[in-house]
Structure 1
């Protein structure tokens, strides 16, 4: 038997633009995300489309950093892919870290029957110390070769989906991939709470406190929703920076800005796909770092740049073909 309440839940979300010239329809998205034969793809139509693949499991037998040492874990990592608005592709990997009742490795049948659960089979401190230690160890930086590597697991799934033959590999916007790593602990009355840290240009870390174990699935979806909107902010900011390399009224500049406005502006719906239990967390992110304010500013700059270039074209009788 294993304690039902996890010490910590660790996850990773990778977000990118689907490599397709057109947004996928529901039928096309269902075909893309059908990772397991006979398992249905979950679908939401309102307020914006969201397709979620069946959950698959990846076996792990590795170490997890814990302060100045490591603990051995054995179990599985749950993975899935999702598509938002027919455009934003994500791969997600997470696992619940539980203390094993017996400090010895079981047969694989013991672990594979539970997707997304890994047991610690070495001696560790009490719950609070171990949970905090695992969370901080995981979020501290790149894992060593012997450590749990959710980044590689998530990247393999993303690469698999992006290489699907039905995708034409011709996205309308040039955009990179971002990573969001997250760690969630059960805090009872202390939750729900979340903090976001921008580690670098493409990597973010989120620390979550949940009220109880039933909120774990909602935490994963919240992190995926947060990752998608952080990616949108990153892509628009990068597009504006790239466009600034060219003169104001050039075709090169408009070839960057116009597709970003056309294909991405309508995808901004923070909290729309976050379960009600954790939707209130978005209020904090609206205040700090001010997601909506930043998005409104970026979209305003895009529209202003396009409007100025259009006015220039009209005043100087520049043909569209010359632009």
Structure 2
């Protein structure tokens, strides 16, 4: 198989719709996407369940750059997208989809048995620019479009898998926290001495994009797991910040303020461990993100605010209760 031009991926992250965290047995039942294929489970440094990988066939286009007319049009790909689900700490659910884009050794369309045998690989069957130009053009096109009905849609593939799992009969649909789903779009390519490097951007309040450069082809295998790990921690930061903003709408002595914040302290703070489930080959990618934008520094600040807010709200509630109690007794004595 030819060396990949680029790897394209999409990850959705959300809170599992369950009142309690799932055990290993429950997680294995939920993520058993294929009969006879085991769910991988890790207990250390934190609980992690990974479903079997399933393939989705695609026959579509990829934009070459954000101006295809000028930069070469579209790459037509045929092959499969690899999809799987991940459960972190029994609490945070992810759906992940990715594909390696390679040049076809023969531009004639092959039988589907050929493509299905190569899970998570799509082959470019039309003529495209030379490698260095094609790599960068595919990255720009993936993030910037233009997007048509014929364009690869990893977002829909990932969303469909996430939706199917969230509606599983074993889930009670009673999550302890209201939290939105976030998206991480990612690309990875080989850069030799230019890697490892990351370029993370917040596109809006729920969509993020990251471009990765790794040194060698073997490192590409591990980038998906790094991106899943990154997506979990970005989701934790996003949810924690939104909960603090929501709590600020209530007076400090309001029970609603504590009701908003306390579940985050109970269910989310123990999930923070960036790099804990990132393979050794690409763990260095975390170093750049820890420096800028400073993931752990942000998390520490948010958790400190969370604890301080709960402490102040509890104290104010006790003072208010004591004050109203004293006032009631004074009226009774009169």
How big is the shift at 1:252? 1.5
- Give the TM-score taking structure 1 as reference length: 0.96
Q: Which residue of 1 aligns with 2:185?
A: 181
Deviation (angstroms), 1:141:
5.1
Distance 1:258 1:169 in 2: 20
- Residue of structure 1 equivalent to 2:163: 159
Aligned-residue offset at 1:315:
2.6
Closer, same or farther in 2 for the Cα pair 1:97/1:251, shift >3 Å? same
Which residue of the other structure, out of 34, 44, 47, is the alignment partner of 1:46? 44
Aligned to 1:257: 261
Paired residue secondary structure (1:195): strand
CA contact (8 A) 2:240 2:264 kept: yes
Q: Secondary structure at the match of 2:11?
A: strand
| Structure 1 partner of 2:64 | 66
Q: TM-score, normalised by structure 2?
A: 0.93
- Partners in 1 of 2:220 and 2:95 — Cα distance? 17
Larger radius of gyration: 2
Partner of 2:270: 266
Aligned residues of 2:189 and 2:213 also touching (Cα < 8 A): yes
CA contact (8 A) 2:109 2:125 kept: yes
Q: CA–CA distance in 1 between the matches of 2:84 and 2:9?
A: 12
Counterparts in 2 of 1:209 and 1:171: CA distance versus 1, 3 Å: same
Runs of at least 4 residues of structure 1 off by over 3 A? 316-319
Q: Deviations over 1:84-107 (max 9, x none)?
A: 000010000000000012222111
User: 2:328 maps to what in 1?
Assistant: none
Partner of 2:198: 194
Query: Closer, same or farther in 2 for the Cα pair 1:141/1:297, shift >3 Å?
Result: farther
- Structure 1: distance between partners of 2:206 and 2:221: 24
Aligned to 1:165, the other structure's residue is in SS state coil
SS at match of 1:43: strand
* Distance in 2 between residues matched to 1:188 and 1:54, nearest whole Å: 31
Contact 2:253 2:320 in 1 (8 A): no
Q: Which residue of 2 aligns with 1:118?
A: 122
1:310 aligns with 2:314: yes
Structure 2's unaligned 5+ residue stretches are 324-334
Partner Cα distance (2:179, 2:270) in 1: 16
CA drift at 1:314: 2.6
Q: Encode CA deviations 1:156-200: one digit per residue, 9 max, x unaligned.
A: 000011011000000000000000000111112221211101111
Q: Secondary structure at the match of 1:93?
A: strand
Residue segments in structure 1 that go unaligned for 5+ positions in a row: none
Q: How far is the alpha carbon of 1:142 from its aligned partner? A: 7.3
1:211 Cα deviation (Å)?
A: 1.5
Q: Which residue of 2 aligns with 1:238?
A: 242
Check whether the contact 2:198–2:285 (CA below 8 A) recurs between aligned residues.
yes
Distance 2:88 2:322 in 1: 37
What is the CA–CA distance in structure 2 between the aligned matches of 1:253 and 1:217, rounded to whole Å? 44
Report Cα offsets for 1:260-309 as digits up to 9, x if no partner. Answer: 11110111000000001111111111110011111011111111111011
Deviation string, structure 1 residues 67-115 (Cα, Å, up to 9, x no partner)? 3121110000000000000001000000000001222211111100111
Is 2:98 the partner of 1:100? no
CA–CA distance in structure 1, aligned partners of residues 39 and 146 of structure 2: 32
